Structure 1
Amino acid sequence: MRLIGRLLYTTACAVCLVLVSTPLALVALPVGLAGGAILVLGVAGAVLIGQARWAPVRTPEQVNRGSLPGRVSPAFVRRDLAWPQYFAVQVALDVRAAAEHCRALVRRLWARPAALLRRPRVKRWWPLYVPVLAGQLAVSLAVAGGVAVVVLVAATVSAGAWLVGGTVVQLLRCADAGWQVVLRSRASCQHCYQLAAVPAYRCLGPHPPGHRLDGTDLHRDLRPGRLGVLWRRCGCGWLLPTTVLRASFSRRLEAQCPSCGERLLAGAGVVTDVRMPVFGAASAGKTQLIMSALVGLHGLAERAGVTVTPADDHSRQRYETYARLMAEGAAAAKTEAGAPPVALTLRLSRGPRVALVHLFDAAGENLVDQAQNARLAYLDHARSLVYVLDPFSIRRVRDEYAAGAPEVFVAANPATYDPEDAYNATVQRLQDYGVRTDRRRLAFVVSKADLLEKLAAGPADPAGVRAWLADNGLHNLVLAAERDFREVRWFLVSGLDSGPDGGLGPADWILAQEWRSHRG
């Protein structure tokens, strides 16, 4: 009986295989292939449209903590709080998530029928598993092929996006850098005196208070890159423009100094930046020179069709004080020793051309003392410097005229430091910090021309300043200045004169080199 039963069972299985399972398997193959393809498309679509909760998303917080590939320049500290470009990292996460989910679904497809087949009663009906097996194989092959196609398409599109996007990024960055080179634009901080090519920008969007306190709302590198090519999506949700040129005109951003975090002037990093550090011994007439230069620039602007305005409240108040003193013929107050350098900024505009002109005044004691002048970082970034020499501090002038005209020397209040020491202290500091002074210009100013005229002791005109200095024992200083700097221009100046014979003379010469022309 057992033999007959086995024969009947084998016959039934054979009939089932031929008449039922094989036709069903032939149907299951194309159905499985189509189902597998649809499965892959459905999973990939769910991931792409963001409906797959199991797909990881690279968030701005993760980017800010350093989870985005690629190195960050030390100058920018860390990645900004912003959504990364899709092809920077999210495409890889999406492809991996889609492949993992498809693999999990296929495993489930194989696991459930196999579990049923292990049951004793179900094992007897194994021929009916053949079409199921055919469907499983078809689905698995379709899913494997579909995932391979998704990976290939994603890799191809990503490569194209990187090629096009990388090219656009480099072009935009070059345009930014080219603009700054042509216009000599830099972001100049009036508080820490540092200079930056790329300002930091504070997003004015709806950030929590914690972001304001720890600087998370600060975008230190708004150049095109992994966080956006033309636009960037901040972590707060606001859309921000990239490139320094566009960011400087955005109402959603506020320029900040990347070094100290203080607010920068409007146009910083985009408009021409002219820095005029004035150095020399105490009582040499530096502040008086700056005072006459500020007032003189306003007068010159009216005649030349240039609009001149103080760039901030501090500069406005200082200009008003200087204008009043110049009108009264009074002298400027001496800069206090040990006090921070005074930075005054004017905004000059003529048509579309704009410049921020910074004049820096530090106490002569700070400049002569090497321990003090080490903090004067503004000296390092200037293309042109102004050295002020007090003629009454020259030994030969003092020996020859002091006894015969004591009242003039009292009015002159001569500088106590030797002119060569005052010059060498600052120039040596620049060279010690790696500044190529041979690429800089120097306006060499002999001050207090109005008092020299009373002695009939000075040069007849600025053209004779060099020879006059050499004749009065400063031949070595003259040679040192011409050796140390690329170009030296000599000036004879009265701080009480707001015209070309005052501080306007050297200031106008520097502006002619750095703003009105684009040479050197």
Structure 2
Amino acid sequence: MTDDPWEPFLSTVRTVFAFLVCAVIVLAALALVVGLLLLVRIHLRRIHEVLYLGDHPGVGSPGPEDFAWLGYHGGPVWWDLAEVYRRVRLDTGLFVVFLYPFLAVQAVVAAAHLALAWAGVVASRLVDAALLAARRIRMVCPNCFEAMSYPSYVCDGCGRTHRDVRPGMWGVFRRHCVCDRALPTLLLLGSADLDTRCPHCDHALEHRPGEAREFVLPLFGAAGAGKTRLAHGLYLSLEHGAELHPETLSVELMGEETERRLRESRTVLSPRHRVAPTPPGRRAHGATLRVAAGRRTLLVQMYDTAGEWFNTHERTEELSYLGRATTFLLVLDPLAVPAVWEALDAEEQRRLAGDRSGARDPERAYLQVRDQVQRQYRTLGAAPGRGRLAVVVTRGDLLAGTSVDPRGIPPERWLDEVVGAANLLRAAHVDFGSVEVFVTSAVTGPSGAPDPSLTTLSRWVLARDAGALGAALREPCDPLSDAGEERVPLSAGTGGPS
């Protein structure tokens, strides 16, 4: 075999060519790496501008109808992704295809954030709803009587009213008002500490709804039957119980309206004091009390509505709070019943003439309310016959010692035989799950303490919905506390109407 004289040359050429190819590949690889690093740098710089610095002209401030900034998961996460892509595409042109994997990573991170945020929204709402349901908290506006799933909250920074602060597109655990004040989105996160308003009528709700169960207590009856005085008596019996047992029971008037109406209860219940009837044109409004015993708290909304509202179906239909209640007080003035008045002798009639109201037909108010309650129960899907009714005979102190003195007689029997309310009682036992009759004296004694009959009625009112609160009203010195005597009135007394 002969040596090829070109072999050394060809070997040199191959070596040089291999070197050049490797150099080109290395340089191309370096160029690609540098180019890719440059593209990634451009991508990261745009992410910094849009996400960190907030340089996003496409996203403006909330408009005049918007009171909060959208949460990042409520839209801005996608707007930012689109803005980053737009800027990167303008910077890189066709080379943007090399950034698609990085943009895909950003999209995956955005989607993961979105999934976690909305999962947090759903979970927090479910937990909050479960807690409200477990505590049987249902919120009712004492002004418009509408039920609300959540009240509106007023920003303590700028005073704007936020209609629905619950977790959603405006925030998960906090929503940011346009004034940049952070507001809690749930009751369990502290939203109850903010000023609240009704989302339906915008009425200020000073009783901090959502913190405790609400107990709607309608008082109804003919005009002049004694509803206003009885409402004062119920409050005073609770206040007196709190004075006797401050370590276990507390009572607080919630709001200026309630304070104005009930703050003079002790004066109103003075035996010599006469109470003016509720003005017939005044719209019904609940007086709210916060009653607490130990760890149990109840928001009691008492509705003392003028008797004229119970005369016609059209007026009673406006009282939508009736469908929110399960306990009702039918207030009856015995002196206005002809059978009772005629049973008094001439001297008794002369003495009590000034205390007799013009209420002649307690059954009319009962039937109006009964029909409306049943109608509202059907609308709300509530079980019929679940309610409790107390037939409350007022002015018991004026009846003491007369020819129709109810003391020593079972109240229901006295109402049947003396008042002649057999038809009313029969209807009540059919329409309500539980019916009790009480004879009350809405007066105070010489010491300023309310008559024990009011405490007895208050215990019954609170017995089913807040047993611990009712038990806290039991007084060691109360003669009505003994078994078998709970519905026997009265404290002896004379004086003005009760």
TM-score normalised by the chain length of structure 2: 0.77
Q: What does 1:303-314 align with in structure 2 at a 5 Å threshold?
A: 303-305=244-246, 306-314=249-257
CA offset at residue 279 of structure 1?
0.2
Q: 1:461 to 1:226 in 2, by over 3 A?
A: farther
CA offset at residue 317 of structure 1?
4.0
Q: 1:156 to 1:375 in 2, by over 3 A?
A: closer
CA offset at residue 444 of structure 1?
1.7
Partner of residue 270, structure 1: 211
CA offset at residue 83 of structure 1?
1.9
Partner of residue 154, structure 1: 110
State the one-letter code of the partner of 1:270. E
CA offset at residue 318 of structure 1?
3.5
Q: Is the 8 A contact 1:445 1:490 kept in 2?
A: yes
Q: 1:438 to 1:50 in 2, by over 3 A?
A: farther
Q: 1:28 to 1:140 in 2, by over 3 A?
A: farther
Per-residue CA deviations over 1:146-189 (Å, capped at 9, x if unaligned) read 22332233334433x24xx52x4344334433443444445444
Q: Is the 8 A contact 2:394 2:440 kept in 1?
A: yes
SS across alignment from 1:514: coil
Q: 1:507 to 1:28 in 2, by over 3 A?
A: same
Q: Is the 8 A contact 1:446 1:493 kept in 2?
A: yes
Per-residue CA deviations over 1:328-354 (Å, capped at 9, x if unaligned) read 532322222222336433333344443
Q: What does 1:73-84 align with in structure 2 at a 5 Å threshold?
A: 81-84=67-70
| In structure 2, distance between residues paired with 1:268 and 1:379 | 19
1:143 is aligned to 2:99: yes
Q: 1:249 to 1:263 in 2, by over 3 A?
A: same
Partner of residue 466, structure 1: 412
The structure 1 residue matched to 2:143, chosen from 187, 191, 195, is 191
State the one-letter code of the partner of 1:99. Y
Partner of residue 3, structure 2: none
Q: 1:400 to 1:153 in 2, by over 3 A?
A: closer
Q: Is the 8 A contact 1:458 1:468 kept in 2?
A: no
RMSD: 3.3
Q: Is the 8 A contact 1:230 1:242 kept in 2?
A: yes
The structure 1 residue matched to 2:240, chosen from 273, 292, 299, is 299
Q: 1:241 to 1:53 in 2, by over 3 A?
A: closer
State the one-letter code of the partner of 1:94. D
Per-residue CA deviations over 1:296-315 (Å, capped at 9, x if unaligned) read 22212222332223323443
| In structure 2, distance between residues paired with 1:316 and 1:353 | 22
1:225 is aligned to 2:172: no
CA offset at residue 517 of structure 1?
4.4
Q: Is the 8 A contact 2:333 2:395 kept in 1?
A: yes
Partner of residue 313, structure 2: 370
Per-residue CA deviations over 1:419-459 (Å, capped at 9, x if unaligned) read 21120012222233336452322222122223333334254
1:100 is aligned to 2:86: yes
The structure 2 residue matched to 1:289, chosen from 224, 230, 235, is 230
| In structure 2, distance between residues paired with 1:406 and 1:153 | 86
Partner of residue 201, structure 1: 153
Which deviates more from structure 2 when the two are superposed, residues 464-473 or residues 91-100? 464-473
| In structure 1, distance between residues paired with 2:259 and 2:97 | 77
| In structure 1, distance between residues paired with 2:110 and 2:286 | 54
Q: What does 1:356-505 align with in structure 2 at a 5 Å threshold?
A: 356-401=299-344, 405-407=348-350, 410-433=353-376, 434=379, 436=382, 438-457=385-404, 459-460=406-407, 464-471=410-417, 473-496=420-443, 499=450, 501-505=452-456
CA offset at residue 86 of structure 1?
1.4
Partner of residue 119, structure 1: none
| In structure 1, distance between residues paired with 2:272 and 2:221 | 23
Per-residue CA deviations over 1:117-151 (Å, capped at 9, x if unaligned) read xxxxxxxxxxxxxxxxxxxxxx4442233223322
SS across alignment from 1:147: helix
Q: What does 1:25-36 align with in structure 2 at a 5 Å threshold?
A: 27-36=30-39
1:510 is aligned to 2:457: no
Specify every segment of 5 or more residues in structure 2 that has no aligned partner in the other structure, as ranges: 1-16, 471-498
| In structure 2, distance between residues paired with 1:157 and 1:326 | 63
CA offset at residue 283 of structure 1?
1.9
Q: 1:453 to 1:275 in 2, by over 3 A?
A: same
| In structure 2, distance between residues paired with 1:183 and 1:326 | 35
CA offset at residue 518 of structure 1?
9.6
Q: 1:394 to 1:233 in 2, by over 3 A?
A: same
Q: 1:448 to 1:35 in 2, by over 3 A?
A: same
Identity over aligned pairs, percent: 29
Q: Is the 8 A contact 2:56 2:80 kept in 1?
A: no
Partner of residue 43, structure 1: 46
Specify every segment of 5 or more residues in structure 1 that has no aligned partner in the other structure, as ranges: 1-14, 66-79, 111-138
1:177 is aligned to 2:129: yes
Q: Is the 8 A contact 1:465 1:491 kept in 2?
A: yes
Per-residue CA deviations over 1:381-400 (Å, capped at 9, x if unaligned) read 22321111222344443454
| In structure 2, distance between residues paired with 1:318 and 1:155 | 56
| In structure 2, distance between residues paired with 1:174 and 1:140 | 43
SS across alignment from 1:496: coil
1:326 is aligned to 2:269: yes
Partner of residue 345, structure 1: 288
Q: Is the 8 A contact 1:307 1:348 kept in 2?
A: yes
Q: Is the 8 A contact 1:186 1:270 kept in 2?
A: no
Partner of residue 57, structure 1: 59
TM-score normalised by the chain length of structure 1: 0.74
Which deviates more from structure 2 when the two are superposed, residues 140-149 or residues 286-295? 140-149
| In structure 1, distance between residues paired with 2:189 and 2:21 | 74
Partner of residue 476, structure 2: none
CA offset at residue 466 of structure 1?
2.5
Per-residue CA deviations over 1:83-132 (Å, capped at 9, x if unaligned) read 2221221111111122222222333xx5xxxxxxxxxxxxxxxxxxxxxx
CA offset at residue 193 of structure 1?
3.8
